[in-house]
Amino acid sequence: MKIYNAKLIIPGLLIFVVMVTFPIWYNKGSAAPPPEPSLNTPAIQRMAEKQCVLPKDQMRTDHMQLLNEWRTEVVRNGNRLYVAWDGKEYNMSLQNECMRCHSNKSEFCDTCHVYAGLKSGSQPYCWTCHIAPKENK
């Protein structure tokens, strides 16, 4: 059996594959699919109705403002009780409230922050003072 000049065809195929997939690996990092932040924590598993302090879409875009608001309330006004839109009450605390449910910081907060390319990478400077949850790694 005669193979048509394999010496040319195989490298040719390789070049073709590289060219076709180039946009995929060239954009790695900037065009990777958005991460799916994991909600798989013991506290969230125990919830009958899985919901956050604010509706999910709002949490996704506004959690920084919410944290700011909480900090101001606690530090400036000494108020720790937050009553949410649905009447649920929360203790305004990053480490004792947010991280009680989202105890998987690296699979939750960090995956998103790395993807979003926060300047400080996966570590907003909050964790230099606030205690991040211990994760079994």
In the complex, the residues that contact ligand HEC under the rule CB under 6 A are: 37, 39, 44, 47, 50-53, 56, 59-60, 63-64, 66-67, 70-71, 74-75, 90, 92-98, 100-102, 108-109, 112-113, 116, 118, 120, 124-126, 128-130
Give, in degrees to the nearest 5, the angle at Cα 108 between 26 and 111.
15
Q: Which is nearer to ligand HEC, 27 or 79 (CB)?
A: 79
Rounded distance between C-alpha atoms, residue 107 and residue 89, angstroms: 26
Rounded distance between C-alpha atoms, residue 76 and residue 101, angstroms: 25
The pair of three-digit structure tokens given for residue 78, joined into one six-digit string: 């000494």
Compute the least distance from the CB of residue 83 to ligand HEC, in Å. 14
Q: Which is nearer to ligand HEC, 27 or 96 (CB)?
A: 96
